[in-house]
Structure 1
Amino acid sequence: MNELVQTTLAAPEGDISFIGLFWQAHLVVKIVMLGLIAASVWCWAIVIDKALLYARTKRQMNRFENVFWSGQSLEDLYGTLQNRSNHGLAALFVAAMREWKRSHEGARPALGSLQQRIDRVMDLTIQREAERLESRLLVLASVGSAAPFIGLFGTVWGIMTSFQAIAASESTNLAVVAPGIAEALFATALGLLAAIPAVIAYNKFSSDVGKSVGRMEGFADEFSAILSRQIDERT
């Protein structure tokens, strides 16, 4: 039994690369490592997707604002956008104009509470847009907070296993101890590798979402004021 333990402890001496440390790790530590690697890959996929989404959303908002404030007729702009899949400011505009036109249909236009209905429609649209922009950000927050502790669990398990093997072999030679400690600490490194980018990305994207929502709320207030003047002129 002691010979088997000594052989197991001596084997890692030949390969202390990252791949070697992974293959020599305890099964529990391997599961932790694989989970952290998968979480890191998932987070990077979300980061890339969100970075492209927010850049595209910003361009769409800039383009819409340029057209909206260019003096083009609201009816013409609505006719251009109504059959498209709109997001951001364009979605707000289309939702408000759709409610405006529905209220003017028929022989008796429903103008009594039109302003409140338009404001409610735009608030709901902003809420849906915020949910679309915030989707999967919770994954980044969860990985950022949990990954270091998961990595620490793998480290504690690996060190505990190493100490048990040391006690069984009755050897404290550094060459015997080092590989087991290294593979345990490797789990902590993977935990930090997954957590740090996730936390940074979450904070950055949360700020971007806040700016986008604030921009939509500002446009909603301005557009609501424009429609309010037209409602007052027709009543």
Structure 2
Amino acid sequence: MNGVTAAPLAASHDLSMLGLFLQADWVVKLVMLGLLFASVFVWAIVFEKFTSLRRARREADALEDAFWSGGSLDELYRRQGEVPGHPMAAVFVSGMREWRRSMENPNAGQFVGGVEERVDRAMAVTIQREMERLEKRMTVLANTGSAAPFVGLFGTVWGIMNSFAAIAGMQNTSLAVVAPGIAEALFATAIGLVAAIPAVLMYNMISSQLAKFAARMEGFATEFGAILARQTEQAAGARRPAAPATAPAAPEAR
């Protein structure tokens, strides 16, 4: 009798992915929908990060080419404008702006170390701000990679609980009776892994590229700071008055 009733029950279940979703419990459906949304959001973030990093590297190449071409830094500063459009330009403009403001002080030559410190600090703050902007929503990748498998596991546990409840209600231990419910439950775990694995891989890849770009901006800031320091020292030397002439020493008494 069990074999006769089990066959129609098994045949009535659609074991395709859409069928498993439609026949799942409402809690499992919510888990699946949440994981699918997280997966789509992860890929949207990955596309945005790769696009922004590619654009930032291309614009950084153009700025460094112009910077090392031997042209006027003041002219480059005017071209970049007060509101730079990419991270490397923001670092350059912040350093140049602070240096120009400091050099407007007629006593700047007496405080060369203070000028250098302010310029370095301005560029360091700009690097931190620009990296925070580039790293925006990276926590979503990290959280999805760590939490999605457990969310899928919750859906699996809930579905298996329902399957065992169905066994108790129908008093039928045939595998054909519990297999559809277990398949629906395991499908939630599969979706969780589909969301988590790309999130972890892309998080590590993008984090590595962000670290390299941050190191590139820090290297540029160090070189630019050294150039401004030399110009500050030259300006201080030009402003320093000449030492007064001294009379020759008197001859020693014999």
Pick the TM interval, shorter chain: over 0.9
1:123 counterpart residue number: 124
Does residue 178 (structure 1) correspond to residue 179 (structure 2)? The answer is yes
CA separation in 1, counterparts of 2:86 and 2:116? 22
- Per-residue CA deviation, residues 174-223 of structure 1 (Å, 9 max, x unaligned), is 22221111100000000000000000110011101100100011011101
1:203 counterpart residue number: 204
**Gap runs ≥5 in structure 1:** 1-5
Deviation, structure 1 residue 110 = 3.1
2:134 counterpart residue number: 133
> How well do the aligned residues superpose, as a CA RMSD in angstroms?
1.7
Amino acid at match of 2:36: I
Does residue 187 (structure 1) correspond to residue 188 (structure 2)? The answer is yes
Q: State the SS of the aligned residue for 1:86.
A: coil
Deviation, structure 1 residue 167 = 1.4
CA separation in 1, counterparts of 2:211 and 2:107? 37
Q: What fraction of aligned residue pairs are identical, expressed as a percent?
A: 57
**1:144/1:195 contact within 8 Å kept:** yes
- Per-residue CA deviation, residues 112-143 of structure 1 (Å, 9 max, x unaligned), is 21111101100100100110111100000000
CA separation in 1, counterparts of 2:18 and 2:118? 61
Does residue 18 (structure 1) correspond to residue 35 (structure 2)? The answer is no
Does residue 104 (structure 1) correspond to residue 100 (structure 2)? The answer is no
2:60 counterpart residue number: 61
Deviation, structure 1 residue 109 = 4.8
1:3 counterpart residue number: none
**2:13/2:180 contact within 8 Å kept:** no
Amino acid at match of 2:73: L
CA separation in 1, counterparts of 2:50 and 2:78? 31
2:87 counterpart residue number: 88
CA separation in 1, counterparts of 2:154 and 2:192? 10
In the TM superposition, what are the counterparts of 1:34-49 in structure 2 within 5 Å?
34-49=33-48
**1:12/1:24 contact within 8 Å kept:** no
Does residue 220 (structure 1) correspond to residue 218 (structure 2)? The answer is no
From the superposition, tell whether residues 224 and 16 of structure 1 become closer, same or farther in structure 2 (CA, over 3 Å).
same
Deviation, structure 1 residue 79 = 0.9
CA separation in 2, counterparts of 1:25 and 1:14? 11
**2:10/2:176 contact within 8 Å kept:** no
Deviation, structure 1 residue 11 = 7.3
CA separation in 2, counterparts of 1:66 and 1:46? 30
- Count of equivalent residues: 228
**Gap runs ≥5 in structure 2:** 237-254
CA separation in 2, counterparts of 1:137 and 1:55? 16
Deviation, structure 1 residue 12 = 7.0
Deviation, structure 1 residue 10 = 2.5
Deviation, structure 1 residue 17 = 0.9
Q: State the SS of the aligned residue for 1:71.
A: coil
CA separation in 2, counterparts of 1:125 and 1:83? 14
2:246 counterpart residue number: none
**1:12/1:179 contact within 8 Å kept:** no
1:30 counterpart residue number: 29
TM-score, normalization by structure 2:
0.86
